Homo-oligomer: A and B are copies of this chain.
Amino acid sequence: MTVGIVGAGQLGRMLALAGYPLGLDFRFLDREAHSPGGQVAPIFCGEFGDRRLLTRLARECEVLTVDWENVPVNALRAVRGATRIAPPLRALAIAQDRLAEKHLFQKLKIATTRFARVDSARSLERAIEAIGFPGVLKTRRLGYDGKGQRVVRTRAAARSAFDALQGAPLIYEEFVRFDFEASVIGARSTRGERACYPLNANVHKDGILRVTRAPIGSSGLAQRARAHLYAILDYFRYVGVLTIEFFVRDGRLIANEIAPRVHNSGHWTIEGAETSQFENHLRAILGWPLGSTRARGHAAMVNLIGQMPDARLALGQAGVHWHDYGKSPRPGRKLGHCTLVEATALKRDGRARSLLASLGLDTGVRLPRLP
C-alpha cells in the first residue's frame, strides 16, 4: 500500500520511517530533490501546486497526506477524484489562515488571545485601540517558526511592522505573558476512533521551538487540552494527527494556533510513547486501529538548529537518542533533534539541562517549572 506525502521535509521523512515497518510504501512531492524525505523514498520534484505532478502522485497512492499545512488547497481539491486525501481540506484551509483559526476557536468556545483583523493602516489603528500594547502583528498566512510576525510596543513600531509586512493580510493579537507554552497532539481515524497524547510543555527562543517536555503533571490541564482537541477533531470529522498550541497562564489554556499534521513538539513520542505520532498518523489515515498514546516515562526533546553538534557528544550520554534529518546547515534551520526518557520528571529535567549544556544549546533556553 502506497502513501503519498506532499512535502518531503523531516516530518515526511519520519512518517516514512515509521511506515515501512507497517508494510507501507511512500512517494513524496517536494520542490527540492535533496529534501530529507528523498533519502528514504522517491520524490516527484516540482511545485506543491503542480496539478500534473499532484495527479501523478494521487494516482500512485491509496491515500495522500501532507507534511506541511501550507500546501495549496485548491490544487489538492483538484485531485480529490484521483485518491483519498487526509487531513480534510477544510481543516487545511482554516489552519492556513490565522484569522479563520481564531474564529474556529471562538465557535468551539476554546479560549484564545484577543485579536483583530488588519487590512489597512486604519484597521491597525482600530485594533491597537481595542487590544492595546504590547501586541503581535502577524501575517495571516505562511508564518512559521516566528517568521511573519513582530512584537510591537508603540504606535510607531506597529506602523513600521505594518509597512514591513508589505500589504499582506494581517492579524493583530494581544501579547500574552504566559507561564509556559503547551501543545496537545492527538489523532482521529477514518473510523472515528480518537486518541490523545499527554500534554507537552514547549520552550521557544527566537520564535523557534527549542525543548519539549512531556507529560505535564497537571491532569486538569491535560484533560481540558484533550477536550479542546477532540472538539476540533470532531468538528472537522478530521482524519490524521492534529496539534493545538496553547499559552498557559494561571492554569488557563489560551489557544494560539492549530497544525493539521504531526508536530515538532511530538517528536518525543518516537521513544517516549508506546506509539509515535508518525505511526498514529498513518494508522489514522489508513483506518487502522490507533496505537496506545501512553507515555513510557518522562521525555525531553531538544531541537538541533542551524548546525549539527557531534552526534557522539549526545550518544555518549546513556539513553539519548539522535535524529539527524540529513539537511545542510543554515542559521535557524531545524536539522535534527535528540530525545531522552527518564523515570521521573525531576530526573528528566536535570538530564535535559545537562544535555543542553553539553551541546552548547543552553544560552537563553530556560526550562520553567511545570505544574
Contacts and interface: CB of A to CB of B under 8 A. Distances in A.
A269 to B, nearest CB: 13
A311 B326 contact: no
A17 B21 contact: yes
Interface centre among A274, A283, A308, A323 (most CB of B within 10 A): A274
A17 B336 CA distance: 16
B292 A315 contact: no
Nearest to A22: B322
Interface string A258-301: 00000000000000001100000001000011011010100000
A113 to B, nearest CB: 36
A22 B288 contact: no
A39 interface: yes
A291 B275 CA distance: 21
Copies of this chain, tallied across the complex: 2
Given A21-B322, A25-B39, A40-B40, A315 B288 contact: yes
A315 B283 contact: yes
A316 interface: yes
B315 A291 contact: yes
A39 B20 contact: yes
Contacts of A283: 315
A156 interface: no
A316 B275 CA distance: 12
A23 B326 contact: yes
26 contacts: A17-B17, A17-B20, A17-B21, A20-B39, A20-B326, A21-B321, A21-B323, A22-B311, A22-B324, A23-B308, A23-B311, A23-B322, A23-B324, A23-B326, A25-B326, A40-B40, A274-B318, A275-B321, A283-B315, A288-B312, A288-B315, A289-B312, A291-B318, A292-B318, A292-B319, A296-B296
